Each structure stands twice: as C-alpha cells, then as structure tokens.
A and B are shown apart, each in its own frame.
Chain A
C-alpha cells in the first residue's frame, strides 16, 4: 500500500518552513526598527518564528530520510537514489545524492548557524537574522515543488514515483510499488561521500555569516563594527570550505580513477574560487582591525565570496555546464530560480554598499613598502587574481550561453588540457603567495625598515636554501621551475617556523594560527610539486608486441594487460593477477570470489569452501554469508620485488548497467610515495564465446595441453555419490581428475560421465579463470582411453594502470597543519569578540 503520509508531512513542512522564513524576515526587520519598549516583544516573536522554521526544516530532513530508510520506493527520490542492498551509512549518501537532498542539507546548516547567531549575539541578532531568513526563504523555495499555471517553483523531493514517471504500469495499477530502487551511484558508495557533502555544505552555508554581518553593518550604519563579529566566522568558513575541498580531493584520490586528487573540473573550481576569495577577505579584515585600512576591499571580498558560492551552485546545478563536467547535475528546471536568488542578493549587496560607500572610512595615507598593510594587500590581490584566472575559463559555457541568448554563435570550448592550463598560472601565483607569507609575517610581528628586514630575513633565507638543496639533490629535482617551487616552499616554511618559535617563546599558542596555516601552505606546495610534477606511470606496456602502424609506436601505452597467474614486469615489480575477491560481512580483508556462490537473497552467498584467514575459520562450507555490495569485485594483484612477495593490492571494479565500468583505485602507501593502481578493463564472465571443440584421447597418467597449459590426466574413478545429484541404483558415474598447471597454480578439474538406463549424461567443468570448459565425452574401456572435449575461451585478465606518486604525504600533512592553523585563528578571534561583547562593546 502506498504511504502518502510521510510525503505529505514533508511537503507540509516545506511550505511551513517557507512561510515561516518569510514571516521571520519581516518580524526581525520590525524588531530591528522597533522602539526600545517594543523590542523585547518583537524579539521573542521573531525567535519563536525562527524556532518554528527550524523545527519545520528538521521535519523536512527527517521525512526524506524516513522515505529512504524505510525503502519507500513509491517515492521517486527513494526509487532513483536508493536500493534494498544499500547499508545504512550509504543511505545517508543517498539522502544528498539528489539536488533536493543537497538543498535540504544546506537549509539545515543555515538553521544551525542561525540558532548559534541568535544565542551568541546581542545587538547584531535582528539585522543579521533578516538576511538569514531571506536566504532560507530562497533555499526552501528550491524544494517547494509548487506549480502555479506554467510556473514551477522548486522541485519537491516528496513526489510519488507515479507522478514523476509516466510508465504504463501506473495506468494498470496506480498503487504499484517497485520492489527495488535503482540504487546509489556506486562512486558515491564511499565513506568520504558520507562526510564530504555535509562539510562542503556547512562551508557553503557559513559564507552567509560574514555576508549577513556585513549587510547588517551597512544597513544599520555600523560601517566598520561588523568586522569583529564577522571575522571568526569568516575564518570558520574558510576552514570548513578548505576542509570540504581537501575531503573532495581525497575522495577523488581514493575513489575515482583519473589518477590524481585534483582535475580542475568545473565542480572543483566552483568551490576553490570562493575559498580563495574568503581567504583574501580574512587577510584584509585582519589588516583593518590592526590599522584601519582596507575596509572597502574587505567589503568587496566578503560580498564576492558569498555571491561566488551562489554562482558556483548555479554553475553546477543549472545544467549550463553540460558536457564540460563529468559530474554536473541534470537540470531540474531550477536555473531561473537560482539566477534570481543570486541576482537578488548581488543587487541588494551592491545597493547597500553604494549607499554607504562615501561614509566608509578610508585611510588617506599611502601604504609604505615597508608596512605590513602593503604586503597583505599584495597577497590579497594575488589571491584575487588566482580566483579570476580560474573562474573565467570555468565560465566558458556561460559565455557561450550568453552569446547565444543574444543570437550570436560561440563555439568556444574549455581548454583541452585543463590541468596544464590552470597549473601554469596557479603554480606561479602560489609561489608568489609563499614568498609573500614569508616576508609578510616578519612585517606583521615587527615594525621594521629595509635594513632590519634584510638582517632578519638572512638567517631563514640561508637555512631554507640549504634545506632546498637537500630536497633538490635527494628528490632529484632538476627542473628549473620545480627548483623555484621548492625554494619558495621551504622559504615560507622556515620563515614562518621562525616566527612560530618566537611567538611560542614570548606569548601564547593563540597567536600561532597565521604561521601554522602558512607552514601548511609551504608543505602543500612542495607536496603538490612532487606528487603531481613527478607522478610517473609505471605500467608501460612491455609485452613486446609490435605494430604495423607507425604512429601508434610513438605513443606510450600507459596500461598493461595482466593475464591471470602470468607474471608481468611493471618497472621494478613483477605483478601477477590472482583473481577476483569479495568483501564479506564479518570477515577481515577480502575473500576469494571462487569460494562463494551467489544465493537467492540480495547480497547473499553460499560458502563453497571453508573461509580461513590466518588460521582462524570464519565460515564453514555450506553456510550463508552476507556480501558487502555484491556487485563490487576486487581484483587481487600480487606484487613481487626481486622474486620476493612484496604486497597485494585489490582495486575495485563493478559493472554498472547505467554507468558502465566503475573502477576505484587501490594504493600501496609508503612513507615517501604511493603506488596507485586501478583496473580499466575487466573480463566479462557472463557471456563467454566458446571456441570450437578440441578432442583429446588420453589414458590415465598421460599429459596433454589444454589451452597451452600442461594438463595431467591423474585418474578416473567410479564414484558412488555426487554433490548435488541423486544417484539411482544401476547408475554408473565416472569422475575424471585432471590437474591443470597454469604458471605456479595447480587446478583440479573433475568432469563427470554418467550412464543411466543406457543413456549417457555428462557434467562438464567450466573453469572461468582459466577460460576452459572440459567434458568427459566418452570412455573406451577396451583401450583404457578417455575422450575429453575441450572448449577454450579467454583466460581471465585485467587491464591495469599503475602510477607512482612521490611525497604525497607531505601534501596531506600540509593540509592538516593548515586546517589546525585556521582552528587556532578561529579560537583567538572568537575569544576577542566574546570578551568585547561581554563588555557591551559589541
């Protein structure tokens, strides 16, 4: 029976959330302009409204999760994003796989942030919450799913399948409920996809806070006071956005197979750009707090970071990217709404800023070259240019759409080599940034002139040159541009470490945020240079095949074909593909797929042989076991170094009917490098093409060749019982035992020959891995000869790509240090704000 209650509840909560958001905005507006006497009333009223809005938003989220959790496939959202086989933690990923769920997540975070704002601010509450409530109204409208005439407002996640799809089945039976959903995109079936989107959306949501403080400041003529409460939030936002970016990069590294962590894809760029601008904004805001300059720049940057988040959402979710991104969302008809949302806040921000512009205090004095303001301003400018360089080409599809909307024709396409194109600018900008942070930090903590600057910088400079020399020689960095990167990176690490040591000696850890974050930047720079610049494909094809075609020989084959059990040289290693594995619930590691046989239920299998790992028996023959996502196969590849077994890697792949081969890498982690491998082609067992019969006539003890493998016909015996077959009186069953030698692996094949009532029955053996089918076709007792019919097929194989990524751990360590730096800075700035607030100087 179709359950319409949950959907109706969710839809009702959506409408309630929208209405309450609009009324909250109005009420908070009244509160901010009300007279002192009425303020308390308006405040309580507004807060209650916002609590109602919060409760409604939570109910939206719970309703949607209930639909997924209870497998209510009568709902389109559950049908298209989930399935019975999905474990609970991936149901969480299903929740935000669709755009509607992602908007709900965003709404939820805004509610949390709004509640925190209400309880940590006094005078700022009213105007800030006006902005919050307006944003919420826009966001909730995205999932409203209200149709007025031809106008569709939002796309509701609570629609029923029968309303979403026009399948004939619903005309016959309107109450039809599919037995299973179409499942979650397998690429999202990853633990990082459970935590990455919430982090990223918290980042998106948090850019609203400094923006809301700024709008509140401009509207209430507190042109500079907004900086203090906004600053810890701006740092928080940059920290969370940064963390979201890193998580996304890490997810790509462990799940996707483009061979790296960053691909300059529009979706990645769309988050990177607001982050850069937010970081620039933090720096100018800090400068303003110190010396009353750069207020106007701060205003522009805070507005830009918020609007860029909306623009990013528009780019990714409007369908305008089309072909140019691998993970752009399908158009739900929300592009117009998203555009209005963005333009509304852009217009409001521009209007308020223009009105306030001439009242905004500026500093007339020219910044000296030896002042920290000057250097920070250069740094912020560099960040701004970096953002500009990325957002411009990322928007090429938008430029095309714009030209075409005015009747022109534009055939511009994104750069063919995206990585090379962006890197050649971003790398040098990052080098400039690294140098600026090193010099800037000295200006920041000491008032100095040219002479003392030289004196203080000489020691860090010499140390960093020495360190660079070691890195260059040891890491064999002989490319001039990479040498410069190493120099800049180690210079910023050494210079900031010097400052850090001084700060820790003199005062508290609280001030260390800046230097820590900058040390992180230096490490990221060096880590990226090694892991990307010196990333090396080692799976060159060394099979010795020659081609008739001349141009193909010039192109390096970056993948290698591994036949099962056949040792193949991959640079320093010998790799041997050993077959498929499965992940079984309750068993550590992976289990050979040949020990399991698929059973009736979803993710269920029968054990064919005892599962023993390290001497412990986990499951006995005949038991039922639960597989973790049965469609996932892990391809075990053993690596040998100098004839010694070194390690095994099991990259995952699944054949997905809608998306083709989904392949995830498996990497061997060393301290100084990763060996990153993934499979790009796998064999299809389901549809074998057996070649013609080959007939062998052999006596027991003789050897012959099956598919080029030495095969010994060990024995043939009359057997009394057979697995899975009832023998009757008078039946004669003969089981032959063949031992096939494939490299270092011996396989026993036992085809069976039965005579019952003068009829002959044959049970052939199909060995998928070796690609052979053997049948005991006949027995010639007079000559003691046995006749076998052999059909050949392809042996099992994988096509593998292996890449070495040097020093990638420096990159990950750098990102962690940078995030810690941000956290220290948040603590310090929030502490400042709360002390001033408690003094009544909010």
Chain B
C-alpha cells in the first residue's frame, strides 16, 4: 500500500470518529414525558425541552420561587404537550424571566420530581415585532 492510501484511510477514520462523536453528543428535543422515560432507563444525557412558564387563569406567571440568597430559583414549566414540571435552575433569576414567551431548558431529571436545568434559553418579545410606536412626540 502506498503512503498516500494509508494517509487517506487515516483521514477517513478520523472523520468517522468526528461524525460518530457528534451523533453521540448531540442533544435532542424531548418532552417532559420522554425525558422522564430516559431517566428511568438510566440515560443521564442532557436534553432540550421547549415550553412556557405556567400561567394562572389571569395570565399571571405562577410558581416561581427564588431561594433566600437569590442565587438560584425554582419555576413551573409547561411543555408543548401540556405536562407541568417543577424545574430548578442553579443561577440567579434573569430579570425579564417572567416575561418570556418561550423557554427552552437544557438539562435532565435529578429526581422524580425535579428537573435540573443546566442552561435556560428564553425567547422574549422581540423589539423587531414591536408594533406600538411611542406617541410621545406628537
């Protein structure tokens, strides 16, 4: 075999390792129900769940509990299938958290009751969608 061929095979082998590792490490979008199944099966991988904050009938966000030293908090989230779940996040509460339209939590079940979020992505009402113009200058 020529040196070039060995080299080529080596490159292909590394490329395959890269692809396999990407597929292995890529997270997935789940619902709380499937995430819980994964936990029961013993899969510890962090997954994404998309949903919203739990709101009362009046439209007020409910279920946010900030810990006494303000460095972590709990909240209630409803995923896209309608499952409610208590989530713990070990970071201070973002200032506009209660205003978010959509929340993506990345993490896994810590116990049967608590979903532990490693990271939270929020989608807030964007200023690009703003249709109300301030009329102060009239």
Chain A residues near B (Cβ < 8 Å) = 73, 79-80, 161, 165-167, 169, 173, 176-180, 182, 323, 326, 330, 366-367, 369, 378, 381, 385, 388-389, 392-393, 396, 411-417, 421, 425, 541, 543, 545, 547, 551-552, 555-561, 655, 658-661, 680-681, 797, 799
CA distance A552 to B114 in the complex (A): 11
* Interchain CB contact under 8 A, B71 and A388: no
Choose one: B11, B30, B72, B104; the contact of A385 (CB below 8 Å).
B11
When distances are taken between beta carbons in the complex, the residues of chain A under 8 Å from B90 are 552, 555-558
When distances are taken between beta carbons in the complex, the residues of chain A under 8 Å from B125 are 658
B33 within 8 A of A: no
CA distance A416 to B28 in the complex (A): 9
* Interchain CB contact under 8 A, A559 and B91: yes
A559 with B71: in contact, given A388-B18, A660-B95, A799-B92 (CB under 8 Å)? yes
CA distance A840 to B138 in the complex (A): 68
Minimum CB–CB distance from B3 to chain A (whole Å) comes to: 6
CA distance A655 to B132 in the complex (A): 20
* Interchain CB contact under 8 A, B70 and A799: yes
* Interchain CB contact under 8 A, A421 and B25: yes
* Interchain CB contact under 8 A, B118 and A392: no
A655 with B95: in contact, given A177-B137, A179-B134, A555-B90 (CB under 8 Å)? yes
A381 with B68: in contact, given A165-B133, A176-B138 (CB under 8 Å)? no
CA distance A381 to B119 in the complex (A): 35
10 residue pairs, one from A and one from B, having the closest CB atoms? A179-B137, A660-B96, A416-B46, A661-B95, A559-B71, A660-B95, A413-B27, A680-B92, A411-B29, A681-B92
Q: 25 A-B Cβ contacts within 8 A?
A: A165-B131, A169-B133, A323-B50, A366-B3, A381-B11, A393-B26, A396-B26, A413-B29, A415-B26, A417-B118, A425-B21, A543-B69, A545-B68, A547-B67, A552-B90, A555-B90, A555-B116, A556-B90, A558-B71, A560-B69, A561-B71, A658-B125, A660-B94, A680-B92, A681-B95
* Interchain CB contact under 8 A, B106 and A416: yes
B9-53 CB mask vs A (1 if < 8 Å, else 0) is 001001100110110011111100000000000000111101000
B122-133 CB mask vs A (1 if < 8 Å, else 0) is 011111101111
A178 with B133: in contact, given A559-B71, A560-B71, A561-B70 (CB under 8 Å)? yes
When distances are taken between beta carbons in the complex, the residues of chain B under 8 Å from A421 are 25
When distances are taken between beta carbons in the complex, the residues of chain A under 8 Å from B3 are 366-367, 369
Residue from B21, B110, B114, B119 with most neighbouring chain A CB atoms (10 Å): B21
B91-106 CB mask vs A (1 if < 8 Å, else 0) is 1111111010000101
Minimum CB–CB distance from A10 to chain B (whole Å) comes to: 21
* Interchain CB contact under 8 A, A323 and B123: yes
CA distance A73 to B136 in the complex (A): 13
B4 within 8 A of A: yes
Chain B residues near A (Cβ < 8 Å) = 2-4, 7, 11, 14-15, 18-19, 21-22, 25-30, 45-48, 50, 67-72, 88, 90-97, 99, 104, 106-107, 110-111, 114, 116, 118-119, 121, 123-128, 130-138
* Interchain CB contact under 8 A, A799 and B119: no
When distances are taken between beta carbons in the complex, the residues of chain B under 8 Å from A551 are 110-111, 114, 116
A80 with B127: in contact, given A169-B133, A176-B138, A415-B25 (CB under 8 Å)? yes
* Interchain CB contact under 8 A, A413 and B70: no
* Interchain CB contact under 8 A, A681 and B93: yes
CA distance A79 to B3 in the complex (A): 63
* Interchain CB contact under 8 A, A412 and B28: yes
When distances are taken between beta carbons in the complex, the residues of chain B under 8 Å from A660 are 94-97, 99, 124
Known A385-B15, A416-B27, A658-B126; further 8 A-B contacts with Cβ < 8 A: A80-B128, A166-B131, A178-B133, A396-B26, A413-B27, A541-B71, A545-B68, A555-B72
When distances are taken between beta carbons in the complex, the residues of chain A under 8 Å from B93 are 681
Choose one: B30, B70, B136, B137; the contact of A681 (CB below 8 Å).
B70
A366 with B95: in contact, given A330-B126, A389-B18, A416-B118 (CB under 8 Å)? no
* Interchain CB contact under 8 A, B45 and A557: no
* Interchain CB contact under 8 A, A416 and B119: yes
When distances are taken between beta carbons in the complex, the residues of chain A under 8 Å from B132 are 167
CA distance A559 to B66 in the complex (A): 14
Minimum CB–CB distance from B13 to chain A (whole Å) comes to: 11
When distances are taken between beta carbons in the complex, the residues of chain B under 8 Å from A557 are 69, 71-72, 90
* Interchain CB contact under 8 A, A180 and B48: no
When distances are taken between beta carbons in the complex, the residues of chain B under 8 Å from A541 are 69, 71
